[in-house]
Structure 1
């Protein structure tokens, strides 16, 4: 395997309660919790793995879905390599609001006029008996917007790893990632140098 590492920043957007944090915890920690605690502002996780023989380090930004946290500032979005838009297949409003989340991201990240990689994920596909948005409808909208679409379940661990591998390949395939990544340099922490005390001269 090459000693180079791709470092990618991925932002996850969507309404509160659609399962953004659960998706990231399932992917990074292989964990799922039934207890729900809303993300305040933003949080991020790291995941290092190998895709197609290349070392990858993903910086995954989890954002709060509450309206008062939507405008997180341009600096927050800057430098993003891929955006994940998440909705809940049992909540029609969360699907309708994806349009606003997409617009928010493109405007604030400065990618309005580029073919930027965005993936749409319909979470909670294990609850298909409570589905409010059909797969066909979601896929049609994603095709119109030129987005990649998949359905996942953080609870049952369905398509989670596949979605992030797809994200990674999408990012690595972009023109700016065609060049070799910088080699990984190990971080060595050294104790501070001890300054020898001056000897006092005898009187």
Structure 2
């Protein structure tokens, strides 16, 4: 039985990964159920907040930290992930370099959190599944790395909304140690027709903008 005092909790969820992997789009889809095809790189850090209900009518507020892709080179990254309950490493399935970047992010983050009193839940997120025909990262490589690193394995499409809410709710449930039945996950699946791919979504070359930044912070809340 879950203690009544645990029925409302604030969880810190951090999204990391290279630029143009779709982190901000995932946050916008989760918090606002919206998608912007125009690519605008996050500089430093953005915040998003949404309250979700887990099985057993457990209310949880997720404070989502969207870390800019260039921040891996920043001394601030350890502060960004400090105290996190869950960390999602996001990459673009159509960009092999993005997956290599996800591995680098994972290695760096694991070094930072290994001395933590409470280790956050980790997830490897392959984004842009609506562009399956352009896939460069094999599912076998994704699954093998997730298993090796003891990470939850997920695939999403911020464009269509596929599995986005499932991702956040599943990670929250994992942190709270609340089982998520398949029927609960299926309720979140809403098929949405993908739009034509915009040329503006093409990812910049990795390493071209790895300069630390801390501006352009916004707070978006849905209750």
TM-score range, shorter chain: 0.7 to 0.9
Higher alpha-carbon Rg:
1
Task: Please state whether the residue corresponding to 1:158 is helix, strand or coil.
Answer: coil
| Maintained 8 Å contact 1:80/1:109 | no
| Maintained 8 Å contact 2:13/2:84 | yes
Residues 115 and 42 of structure 1: is their aligned pair in 2 closer, same or farther, counting only changes over 3 Å? closer
Q: Does 1:11 align with 2:21?
A: no
Matches within 5 A, 1:74-89: 74-89=78-93
The one of 49, 65, 71 equivalent to 1:61 is 65
Q: Which residue does 1:100 correspond to in 2?
A: 104
1:20-76 CA distance string (max 9 Å, x none):
000010011000001111111011111112111111011100011025754324332
CA distance in 2, matches of 1:37, 1:162: 25
Residues 36 and 73 of structure 1: is their aligned pair in 2 closer, same or farther, counting only changes over 3 Å? closer
Residues 34 and 11 of structure 1: is their aligned pair in 2 closer, same or farther, counting only changes over 3 Å? same
CA distance in 2, matches of 1:111, 1:5: 28
The count of aligned residue pairs is 174
1:53-105 CA distance string (max 9 Å, x none):
11101110001102575432433221100100000000001101112111222
CA distance in 2, matches of 1:54, 1:26: 22
Higher relative contact order (CA 8 A, sep 6+): 2
CA distance in 1, matches of 2:28, 2:38: 13
The one of 126, 130, 135 equivalent to 2:134 is 130
Task: Please state whether the residue corresponding to 1:7 is helix, strand or coil.
Answer: strand
Residues 34 and 168 of structure 1: is their aligned pair in 2 closer, same or farther, counting only changes over 3 Å? same
| Maintained 8 Å contact 2:113/2:119 | no
Give the TM-score taking structure 2 as reference length.
0.72
The one of 75, 83, 95 equivalent to 1:71 is 75
CA distance in 2, matches of 1:124, 1:95: 12
Q: Which residue does 1:42 correspond to in 2?
A: 45
| Maintained 8 Å contact 1:64/1:70 | no
CA distance in 1, matches of 2:72, 2:156: 27
